[in-house]
Structure formats: C-alpha cells, structure tokens
Amino acid sequence: MIAVDSNVLVYAHRKDSPWHQAARRCLRPLVEGYAPWAIPWPCVCEFVGIVTHPRIYRPPTAPEEALAQVDALMASPALVTLSEEGDHWSVLREVLQTSRASGPKVHDARVAALCLHHGVSELWTADRDFSRFPRLKTRNPLIEPGA
C-alpha cells in the first residue's frame, strides 16, 4: 500500500505550486483507483494547516476550500486513513530512538511510525528528511520514475 505525505497533497491542491501538475498526475490513479492507498491522519492536519497559512501562501486557501479538498480525498473508494492504535507506541518509540528525531522531526517520525505500523510499502513524499527512517521505503513521485 502506498501512503501519501502532506507535501504531495499540498502541491496537488495549490495551483501556484511549480509541482502542481506532477502532483495531480501521480495522485489521480490513487484517488480514482481501487487499490488501497493511505494518508496518515497527521498529514491531513498538516495539509489543512499549510494551505490555509497566510505566511506560507498569499492568498492562502480558504478554510472551506481546504476542507472540501479533504472531503474529496476521503471520497476515494480505496483510501485508508492511518491512525495510532494498539502497540503504536512501541513502533514510534523505536523510530524515535533509532532516528534520533527531535523537535520538528518528531512529526516526521510519527508519520513514519504510522506507515510502518500499518504495513505501508512506500511513502510518497518530497521531503528528504524521511531518509532518516531507513526501515520506511520512500519515493518522490514528482521526480522519480514509476509514479
């Protein structure tokens, strides 16, 4: 199962992003397909926070529009949302310890642990910081072939 990081979602949403077309192109088969794909819940929150932030985008996305975009993603027939459950702490603890993540990198560790806990085969992200989690296979679908 492929999981999608918030930056790919942001780029697919924001028409002013130089990665907009590439992000839409790689997301379309997931969103419209029937093979399971995933979004970690922290990435949903981060997506809304980023696109509506007035210091990141001028103009920012209106909150109603951001929520409508999330609604559209949630309508995908094969979407799986990844959340903490069961022994999640043991996975997160191991990821935090081995990566030595601290500060804002704890968010990335949380996403990585969710993906590992739920058996994600690959995380699509444009964030190179995920390389600090070697157990999680990542790929930038905006520049790497095969997306």
Predicted confidence (pLDDT) per residue in 57-77, tens digit: 999 999 999 999 999 999 999
Closest CA to 3 of 117, 106, 104: 117
pTM of the model: 0.92
Percent residues over pLDDT 90 in the chain = 92
pLDDT value of residue 89 = 93
pLDDT, mean of residues 12-37: 96
pLDDT value of residue 146 = 59
Asked whether the beta carbons of 76 and 32 are under 8 A apart, the reply is yes
Report how far residue 133's alpha carbon sits from residue 107's, in angstroms, rounded to the nearest whole number: 12
Q: Helix count (H) and strand count (E) of the chain?
A: 6, 5
Q: What does the mean pLDDT of the chain come to? A: 94
The tens digit of pLDDT for each residue in 123-135 reads: 999 999 899 999 9
Please name each of the domains of the chain with its CATH number.
2-139 (3.40.50.1010)
Estimate the share of the chain in helix, then strand, then coil, as percent rounded to the nearest 5: 50, 10, 40
Strand partners, 82: 40
Nearby residues of 115 by Cβ (< 8 Å), 6 or more positions away: 3, 38, 40, 82, 123, 136
pLDDT value of residue 104 = 87
